[in-house]
Amino acid sequence: MSDVEVSLSCWRSSGLAAVACVVCLSACGTLGEREAAASRAAVRFEESVRRADGARACAALAPGTRQDLQQSAKTSCAEAFVQEQLPPAGAVRTVQVYGRQARVVLADDTLFLSAFSSGWKITAAGCVPRPHKPYQCRIKGG
Q: Is the distance from CB of 103 to CB of 111 less than 8 angstroms?
A: yes
What is the pLDDT confidence band of residue 42, given thresholds at 50, 70 and 90? very high
What is the model's pLDDT at position 29?
A: 77
Mean pLDDT, to the nearest integer, of 8-12? Answer: 31
Alpha-carbon gap, residue 92 to 127, rounded angstroms: 14
- Look at the pTM and tell me if it is higher than 0.85: no
What is the pLDDT confidence band of residue 28, given thresholds at 50, 70 and 90? low
Q: Is the distance from CB of 111 to CB of 140 less than 8 angstroms?
A: no
Burial class (CB in 10 A: 0-12, 13-18, 19+), 21: middle
Alpha-carbon gap, residue 42 to 60, rounded angstroms: 9
Q: Where are the beta strands (DSSP E) in the chain?
A: 92-98, 101-106, 109-116, 119-130, 133-140
According to DSSP, the β-strands at 119-130 and 101-106 are: unpaired
What mean pLDDT is reported for the chain? 83
Which of 8-17, 38-47, 105-114, 119-128 shows the lowest per-residue confidence on average (mean pLDDT)? 8-17
Mean pLDDT, to the nearest integer, of 121-133? Answer: 95
Which domains occur in the chain, in start order? 31-140 (3.10.450)
Alpha-carbon gap, residue 23 to 115, rounded angstroms: 10
pLDDT at 27 over 80: no
Q: Which residue would you say has higher pLDDT here, 16 or 73?
A: 73
Go through the chain and tell me how many residues it has.
Answer: 142
